[in-house]
């Protein structure tokens, strides 16, 4: 199929979803009022509550929600074919994704900027608050591990990316100072930021940075380990600095790289489509992917963003709702950013479904989705501006694509430790006062993240992150449904998506946990059995031993390769998250029944015949 037809599919979803469904909900369900005071104005403290221009806040929202997941997830999901991936992306964002993002911001804003912990206490029960906060904390830990691993891996493999990322961090500090302290015009500040950032990308190939000179072989402190530590230091300062000082200006200034990537991707796809470029990957491969994962429920959690993501609900409720100047800004900021993220995922699918010449080439590159996305963006840039393989334009385009995915990943790190700090204070603050200390709470979160990344398998961390992420989305839809029920409004808009997400993601987490546990035990048993046979079989022929040599090495690697602890820890997390979700679902059902009963009692009696 020509890639232009996929762009047509994208356009229909955006028009119907944003200008149709979202506008209807804004006017008829939430009935937004620009005269109603928002929490950002009522409780402005310059730290978390801070009114922001909707254009600045859109950049903050888009960069904060996108991360690397809307790129990496769809690329991995191509193992089932590009048609299932596109259908889930389109239908997911149309009926579920924007509903969660927009509604999460609205119910928080209508509740004085309350977090989901406070909302669960008010809408369900005090017990639900503790359960939800526990779920949120460990869910955030999986997010931190997944994206920390992605960033550290790319920085350690491609030495040209670190320099522009350092410049972007410096520009963020400069932008915050210029806008909020020096009161420099935002247009002037934006031009300065764009020139510095794009200039750094343009010269990146001549400024490689690597950390091999401080590697300690045989320990965690490899080059990737040192880059991971650098990422965690970045997360520490993001957590403790006021939102205006770093997070907001980082997201605003770096989002122009994302904007350019979206535009150049669409233009490149249009030019290539006019030239007859087709999707070379198979439209549908099989229900069981190459990793023997079933399409349902695993594809729906592998694509953790682009269709719907629980992370978005935390950004919308804990961050964006406290910065909205007007209720009328919620639709363009929250819903608009969700459809923009959907656009990024569509571009990733098209670039990679046309980049890989065959299914075999795709399978060979499946382990490096971020790097292959960079090459796909490079192809789009050379399509627009010219230049063949190996040219300056191709190399710079590749660096640009990698910087784009690094920016999206760092925006997650920008907020995830801040949210973990807040969750720690809400969950343990009363019983353990030291938990309210932001520095201590952040450092504990950083240490746990380092351990999980250093001892776990990325393959399973990513799948569990996807499952936990989508289950968080289900729980967010539950809270939205309960809020609508309490306010005596229709609940189908969020209630039906809640049921689908809740059932799908619990099944996905259960399947992932099962694969983790059985995988470790099978490998352990294989290793022990083969080692015992080899050690006690003096009469075995060399041919017999060689036949089992590969199996022995594989089993030994699975057991002693440094990932067993992390994988068992991840399996335990999946069980914990499932139990928490089941308890919340039970308590939520009781609360829903209570609200529906109250609505029935409040309904006027029918007039007598």
pLDDT in the model for residue 117: 84
pLDDT in the model for residue 549: 39
Long-range contacts of 272-275 (CB under 8 A, 24+ apart): 272/3, 272/354, 272/380, 272/383, 273/2, 273/3, 273/4, 273/7, 274/4
CB 46 within 8 A of CB 244: yes
User: Count of CB atoms within 10 A of residue 12's CB?
Assistant: 12
pLDDT in the model for residue 460: 62
Q: What are the extents of the domains in the chain?
A: 3-594
pLDDT band with cut points at 50, 70 and 90 for residue 364: low
pLDDT in the model for residue 609: 44
Backbone phi, psi, residue 603, to 5°:
-65, 140
Give tens-digit pLDDT for 329-346: 999 999 999 999 999 899
Q: Is pLDDT of 161 > 60?
A: yes
Q: Is pLDDT of 547 > 60?
A: no
Dist CA 108 CA 113 (whole Å): 5
Chain mean pLDDT for the chain? 82
Q: Strand, helix or coil at 293?
A: coil
pLDDT in the model for residue 135: 84
Backbone phi, psi, residue 581, to 5°:
-65, -40
pLDDT band with cut points at 50, 70 and 90 for residue 603: low
Cα radius of gyration rounded to whole Å, the chain: 24
Residue in 450, 448, 455 with CA at minimum distance from that of residue 421? 448
CB 490 within 8 A of CB 484: yes
Dist CA 307 CA 98 (whole Å): 9
Based on the number of CB atoms within 10 Å of its own CB, is 427 exposed (0-12), middle (13-18) or buried (19 or more)? buried
Dist CA 99 CA 498 (whole Å): 11
Give tens-digit pLDDT for 241-292: 887 788 888 888 888 998 898 888 888 888 877 877 777 778 888 888 766 6
Higher pLDDT, 542 or 92: 92
pLDDT in the model for residue 368: 65
Dist CA 377 CA 400 (whole Å): 8
CB 105 within 8 A of CB 320: yes
Residue in 480, 514, 518 with CA at minimum distance from that of residue 497? 480
pLDDT band with cut points at 50, 70 and 90 for residue 29: very high
Q: For the residues of 119-147, what is the DSSP string, one character each?
A: HHHHHT-HHHHHHHHHHHHHHHHHHHHHH
């Amino acid at each position: 199929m020509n890639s232009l037809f996929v762009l047509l599919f994208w356009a229909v979803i955006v028009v119907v979803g944003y200008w149709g469904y979202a506008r209807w909900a804004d006017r008829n369900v939430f009935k937004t009022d620009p005269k109603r005071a928002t929490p950002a104005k009522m409780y402005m403290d310059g730290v978390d509550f801070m009114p922001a221009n909707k254009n600045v806040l859109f950049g903050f929202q888009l960069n904060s929600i996108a991360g690397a997941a809307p790129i990496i997830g769809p690329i991995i999901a191509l193992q089932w074919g590009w048609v299932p991936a596109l259908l889930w992306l389109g239908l997911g964002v149309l009926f579920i994704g924007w509903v969660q993002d927009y509604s999460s911001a609205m119910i928080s804003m209508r509740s004085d900027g309350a977090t989901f912990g406070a909302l669960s206490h008010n809408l369900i029960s005090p017990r639900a608050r503790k359960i939800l906060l526990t779920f949120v904390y460990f869910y955030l830990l999986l997010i931190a591990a997944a994206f920390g691993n992605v960033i550290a891996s790319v920085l350690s493999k491609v030495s040209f990316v670190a320099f522009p990322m350092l410049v972007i961090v410096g520009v963020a500090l400069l932008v915050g100072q210029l806008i909020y302290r020096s009161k420099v015009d935002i247009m002037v500040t934006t031009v300065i930021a764009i020139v510095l950032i794009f200039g750094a990308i343009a010269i990146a190939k001549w400024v490689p940075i690597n950390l091999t000179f401080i590697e300690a072989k045989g320990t965690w402190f490899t080059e990737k380990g040192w880059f991971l530590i650098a990422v965690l230091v970045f997360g520490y300062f993001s957590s403790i600095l006021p939102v205006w000082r770093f997070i907001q200006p980082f997201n605003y200034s770096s989002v122009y790289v994302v904007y350019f990537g979206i535009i150049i991707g669409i233009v490149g796809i249009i030019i290539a489509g006019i030239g007859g470029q087709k999707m070379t990957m198979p439209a549908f491969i099989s229900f069981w992917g190459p990793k023997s994962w079933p399409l349902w429920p695993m594809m729906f959690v592998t694509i953790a963003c682009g269709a719907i993501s629980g992370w978005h609900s935390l950004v919308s409720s804990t961050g964006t709702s406290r910065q909205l100047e007007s209720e009328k800004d919620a639709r363009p900021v929250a819903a608009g950013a969700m459809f923009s993220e959907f656009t990024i995922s569509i571009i990733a699918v098209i670039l990679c479904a046309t980049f890989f010449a065959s299914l075999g080439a795709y399978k060979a590159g499946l382990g490096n989705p971020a790097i292959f996305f960079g090459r796909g963006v490079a192809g789009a840039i050379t399509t627009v501006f010219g230049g063949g393989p190996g040219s300056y334009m191709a190399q710079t385009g590749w660096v640009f694509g990698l910087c784009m995915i690094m920016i999206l990943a760092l925006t997650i790190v920008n907020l995830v430790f801040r949210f973990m700090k807040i969750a720690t204070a809400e969950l343990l603050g009363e019983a353990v006062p030291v938990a309210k200390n932001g520095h201590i709470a952040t450092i504990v979160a950083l240490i746990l993240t380092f351990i999980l990344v250093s001892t776990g398998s990325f393959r399973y961390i990513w799948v569990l992150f996807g499952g936990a992420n989508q289950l968080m989305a289900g729980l967010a839809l539950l809270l939205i449904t309960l809020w609508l029920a309490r306010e005596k409004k229709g609940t189908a808009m969020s209630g039906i998506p809640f049921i689908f997400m809740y059932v799908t993601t619990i099944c996905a987490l259960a399947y992932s946990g099962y694969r983790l546990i059985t995988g470790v035990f099978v490998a352990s048993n294989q290793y022990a059995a083969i080692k015992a046979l080899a050690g006690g079989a003096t009469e075995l022929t060399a041919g017999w031993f060689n036949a089992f040599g590969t199996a022995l090495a594989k089993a030994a690697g699975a057991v002693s390769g440094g990932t067993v602890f992390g994988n068992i820890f991840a399996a335990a997390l999946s069980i914990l998250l499932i139990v928490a979700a089941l308890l919340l679902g039970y308590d939520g059902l009781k609360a829903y029944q209570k609200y529906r009963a109250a609505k029935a009692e409040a309904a006027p009696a029918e007039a007598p015949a």
